[in-house]
Chain A
Amino acid sequence: MSIQEQYRSRAKELLGEGSVKMVIGYGVGTTATRRRPIFITSPDETDRLVLDASCRTNLAGYLLREGLLADQKSIAVFLLPDGVRALNILAAESQLATAQIVVLGFEIKGEEVKPLEGTAAGDFSAIIAERKEQRKAQPSHEMAVKLEEMTPAERFAFWEKEFSRCIKCYACRAACPMCWCRRCVVDNNQPQWVNTSSHTLGNLEWNLVRAFHLAGRCVECGNCSEACPVNIPLHLLNGRMTDEVLTAFDHYPGADEQQEPVLASFRKDDPETFIL
């Protein structure tokens, strides 16, 4: 049985026995390699589920739709390891209770999709720990290395150029599982800290504010860059913040659901190199 079939039948089983009220998974999209999220509530529809190497979107954010989990019923969701990390952060930030979530975990190696053992968020700690070590050992992107080698002026010019394309559509915000604020700071117009029109200063402000708000929370799922209609490499910016918390505080976002936010907690041995 193919992995897709395995997961379809697992979903059918979960819905059939009534242990979940919905399965959030991947369905066919507009092109051969594009997948779109689908929300299945009946065991008869599980054949619409697709699972292949194109299923890279992090679906964790869809769990936060207002009222979705209010009835205390469970929902199953297809998640890559980074998605499980996102789930942990959402639980740590009191946005959901992991007890309500059945994880249909999988990972993608090259072009191959592999199943992951476990159903609860806590079952995936081993693979998350493994990924933390990998992440520590090497930067996530070639371009990240190049950016580090640039002078500050060159780097600024790079980002200024990238951000100049931004049209403030906020697709990054909509796609990001961590952007769950009921009211985003950019939508607060009393006062209007961040200019909404699409010009250099406002663009820079918006993208930097979002990066700071993701510091210690970004799981590097790549949803933001994928969603960006003008191809700004946002993952590089957010990845840089992940580097920072990882090296300074050994903080790997979403390692478990007890994790405290890195910017609101401290340990006695935290480095204080920034204090002059």
Chain B
Amino acid sequence: MAKIGVFVCHCGENIAAKVDCTKLVAAMEGHPGVAIAHEYKYFCSEPGQESIKKAVAEYGLTGVIVAACSPRMHEATFRTACAEAGLNPYLCEIANIREQCSWVHNDGEQATRKAIEITRSLVEKVKRNNELQPIEVPVTRRALVIGGGIAGIQAALDIANAGGEVVLVEREASLGGHMAQLSETFPTLDCSQCIMTPRMVEAARHPKIRLLTYSEIEKVEGFIGNFNVTVRQKARFVDMNLCTGCGECMQKCPAKKISGEFDCGLANRTAIYTPFAQAVPNKPVIDSEHCIFFKNGKCKACQRVCPTDAINFEMEDELVELEIGAIVVATGFQVQNTALYGEYGYGRYPDVLTGLQFERLASASGPTGGKITRPSDGKEPETIVFIQCAGSRDPSKGIAYCSKICCMYTAKHAMLYRHKNHDGNSRIFYMDIRAAGKGYDEFTRRAIEEDGAGYVRGRVSKLWQENGKLMVRGADTLLGRPVEVAADMVVLATAMVPQPDSKELGKTLGIGYDEYGFFNEAHLKLRPVETATAGIFLAGACQSPKDIPDSVAQASACASKVLALFSRDKLEREPVIAQNNEATCSGCWGCVLACPYNAIEKKDLTDRSGNLIRRVASVNAGLCQGCGTCVTFCRSNSIDLAGFTEKQIFAEVMGL
């Protein structure tokens, strides 16, 4: 015999002002199966919860209804209270008489009637509730970090230093990402490589970190704590174990005119190459697209000079299978190129650069050894115009967001330019100076006051070449008049954009992304590093434009989430999952097709001698998210959702 306790919450005035709670209690008291009904001002308060616990013990309740706010608010509160009183938490249900009743009706009498209906239907449901036990799934204590830039390295190091195993996957031949390309970093002007490379080395040498460079994610299956990931290790054509990194091969490679990605096209590289001098691992790869041997079958110059016979032209891509417990996505960003801008010459002028190209010019490891010269003729520019928001905050270019880092790096560029060329003139066209961050505003003030950065508030409308100069025409909106500057070099602070294939990776991982391709967090404010897919976390600029401090902070936040996950032997999951009645299942696999989580498997039913009788659907408790799509698809109603079974829903409907 059911003994249900009904607890009607006033929620201060929120409910009681419309719903006659005393009448609701009276109506429930007379309902079959209801042992007690109480009302109280705030059941979510400490004394409110205590009174429920006391009632559970005193009356030996077999079910609890709290008629209160939305279950999204306090379902967990009341279920925990019930559990503490010794009642299975899934025997406690919330009747929502606030959002779905008192808040949306004016007429008190009708609202009261509706509240009675809602509560009664929940009483009917709870009579048929079963005790459910949380599902336990094992956790593989190994993290996958995708992306070997500063965010990925930071996350990998934090996890590894706490004892977790890490597989760090980087698509390029070396760790480093964009940070390795930068000259000096705002707001402290420390040399980027000087602070970056020790981290790269530390990650590569860490006994808990397995490094897979020149590798990409092929396939991701499974679920939190139990992912099965396939990584494609692209053929390097260089045996990592034999190669000593002496660099002879690169000296001899005859294919020398390949535009170098690391230097943003400002310098050439060979077909066998390491992206930069401090590359980790410092072992070259052969770019088979440009290699003369791969193009016409002759050459092998590198193989001849290699002292350790490390070159192997027969090498093939390898697929590495990994068991993974958690995934950190730190795939970073790309910089929009200059070809997007008709008004700035569609990328035709060699001396119109992106901010990242300017970084390479200013970098001591760059193509000019840190001397800022024009790519067209190698002359030192006397005047440089910097154009901010070249693409960002410009819905007409399809990018409405702020790229966040450009205000700061442009100030830094003007500063570096003045440090290297004391007579240099810089003019910066800007919309607003956004310098929120520790030491940031001071930094931009320093650029203006000490390093002569000439800020002009306004947009540039046109840019053209005249007498060897780049003519820049814009508006100075503070003076309210047009300006024209004859520049020797123009640097566009082009937008920070997602990796071009981020959407594909999002699909592979099963995580969401926005209209641009930045990955979506579970909640912008309260769950900024989690994705909607449990066990997958986001670090760095793959989520939204970020500077180095933000990326590093988010990476460490990811690590803490991963480590929290790894701190347990088993994960507890809500037992609200689909369950299949094998006796009535006909094995049509409609549920398999309908399931968005690949949670339904085919199971053989055999007789005692092992002969196959038929095959039926079987739900993987670890994968099932309890969405119920399969339930709606099953014509024979063989699949049911624990906690929301047909019987319960039917009783609830009939209780109305």
Scan B586-614; emit 1 where CB is below 8 A from any A CB, else 0.
11111001100000000000000000000
A94 and B585 alpha carbons, distance in the complex (Å): 12
The answer on a CB contact under 8 Å between B647 and A191 is yes
**Contact residues in A for B583 (Cβ distance below 8 Å):** 182-183
The smallest beta-carbon distance between B72 and chain A, in angstroms, is 25
The answer on a CB contact under 8 Å between B590 and A180 is no
The answer on a CB contact under 8 Å between B585 and A182 is yes
A190 and B646 alpha carbons, distance in the complex (Å): 8
Contacting residues of chain B (613-656) with chain A, CB-CB under 8 angstroms: 615, 633, 635-638, 646-647, 650-651
A260 and B637 alpha carbons, distance in the complex (Å): 20
A-B contact count (CB 8 A): 50
A95, A260, A264, A265 — most chain B CB neighbours (10 Å): A264
Residue in chain B with minimal CB distance to A212? B635
**Contact residues in B for A260 (Cβ distance below 8 Å):** 593
**Contact residues in B for A153 (Cβ distance below 8 Å):** none
The answer on a CB contact under 8 Å between B650 and A193 is yes
B586, B646, B650 — most chain A CB neighbours (10 Å): B586
**Contact residues in B for A95 (Cβ distance below 8 Å):** 586-588
A260 and B589 alpha carbons, distance in the complex (Å): 10
The reply to whether the CB of B110 lies closer than 8 angstroms to some CB of chain A is: no
Contact check: which of A183, A184, A193, A264 meets B594 at CB < 8 Å? A264
A55 and B588 alpha carbons, distance in the complex (Å): 29
The answer on a CB contact under 8 Å between B650 and A181 is no
Contact check: which of A180, A191, A264 meets B586 at CB < 8 Å? A180
The answer on a CB contact under 8 Å between B589 and A94 is yes
A213 and B634 alpha carbons, distance in the complex (Å): 10
Contact check: which of B584, B587, B651 meets A191 at CB < 8 Å? B651
A261 and B590 alpha carbons, distance in the complex (Å): 7
**Contact residues in A for B636 (Cβ distance below 8 Å):** 181-185, 188
The answer on a CB contact under 8 Å between A181 and B586 is yes
The reply to whether the CB of A263 lies closer than 8 angstroms to some CB of chain B is: yes
The reply to whether the CB of A93 lies closer than 8 angstroms to some CB of chain B is: yes
Residue in chain A with minimal CB distance to B638? A183
**Contact residues in B for A264 (Cβ distance below 8 Å):** 590, 593-594, 633
The answer on a CB contact under 8 Å between A93 and B650 is no
The answer on a CB contact under 8 Å between A185 and B637 is yes
**Contact residues in A for B637 (Cβ distance below 8 Å):** 185, 188, 193
Contacting residues of chain B (544-600) with chain A, CB-CB under 8 angstroms: 583-590, 593-594
A181 and B638 alpha carbons, distance in the complex (Å): 10
Residue in chain A with minimal CB distance to B633? A264
Residue in chain B with minimal CB distance to A178? B635
The smallest beta-carbon distance between B644 and chain A, in angstroms, is 13
A94-B588, A191-B647, A191-B651 in contact; A185/B635 too (CB < 8 A)? yes
Contact check: which of A182, A183, A188, A263 meets B633 at CB < 8 Å? A263
A263 and B647 alpha carbons, distance in the complex (Å): 25
**Contact residues in B for A191 (Cβ distance below 8 Å):** 646-647, 650-651
Contact check: which of B584, B594, B647, B650 meets A182 at CB < 8 Å? B584
A180, A182, A188, A190 — most chain B CB neighbours (10 Å): A182
A72 and B287 alpha carbons, distance in the complex (Å): 53
A143 and B588 alpha carbons, distance in the complex (Å): 33
The answer on a CB contact under 8 Å between B584 and A94 is no
The smallest beta-carbon distance between A168 and chain B, in angstroms, is 18
Scan A244-276; emit 1 where CB is below 8 A from any B CB, else 0.
000000000000000011011100000000000
Residue in chain A with minimal CB distance to B589? A94
The smallest beta-carbon distance between B630 and chain A, in angstroms, is 9
The answer on a CB contact under 8 Å between B588 and A93 is yes
Contacting residues of chain A (190-213) with chain B, CB-CB under 8 angstroms: 190-191, 193, 213
**Contact residues in B for A263 (Cβ distance below 8 Å):** 633
Residue in chain A with minimal CB distance to B632? A263
A94 and B614 alpha carbons, distance in the complex (Å): 11
Contact check: which of B584, B585, B589, B638 meets A93 at CB < 8 Å? B589
A181 and B581 alpha carbons, distance in the complex (Å): 13
B588, B589, B594 — most chain A CB neighbours (10 Å): B588
A265 and B588 alpha carbons, distance in the complex (Å): 14
The smallest beta-carbon distance between B617 and chain A, in angstroms, is 11
Residue in chain B with minimal CB distance to A190? B647
The smallest beta-carbon distance between B202 and chain A, in angstroms, is 46
Contacting residues of chain B (326-376) with chain A, CB-CB under 8 angstroms: none
**Contact residues in A for B594 (Cβ distance below 8 Å):** 264
**Contact residues in A for B651 (Cβ distance below 8 Å):** 191
**Contact residues in A for B635 (Cβ distance below 8 Å):** 181, 185, 213
A33 and B397 alpha carbons, distance in the complex (Å): 74
The smallest beta-carbon distance between A184 and chain B, in angstroms, is 7
Residue in chain A with minimal CB distance to B648? A191
Scan A112-142; emit 1 where CB is below 8 A from any B CB, else 0.
0000000000000000000000000000000
A181 and B587 alpha carbons, distance in the complex (Å): 9
A261 and B634 alpha carbons, distance in the complex (Å): 12
**Contact residues in B for A94 (Cβ distance below 8 Å):** 587-589, 615
**Contact residues in A for B586 (Cβ distance below 8 Å):** 95, 180-182
In the assembled complex, 27 residue pairs joining A and B whose CB atoms fall closer than 8 Å, in A order, are A93-B588, A94-B587, A94-B588, A94-B589, A94-B615, A95-B587, A95-B588, A181-B584, A181-B586, A182-B583, A182-B636, A183-B583, A183-B584, A184-B636, A185-B636, A185-B637, A188-B637, A190-B646, A191-B646, A191-B647, A191-B650, A193-B637, A213-B635, A261-B593, A264-B593, A264-B594, A265-B593
Which residues of A are interface residues toward B (Cβ below 8 A)? 93-95, 180-185, 188, 190-191, 193, 213, 260-261, 263-265
A93-B588, A181-B635, A191-B646 given; name 6 further pairs at CB < 8 Å.
A94-B587, A95-B587, A95-B588, A182-B584, A188-B646, A264-B590
- Please give me the 8 A-B residue pairs with the lowest Cβ-Cβ distance, nearest first: A191-B650, A181-B636, A183-B584, A264-B593, A93-B588, A264-B594, A213-B635, A182-B586
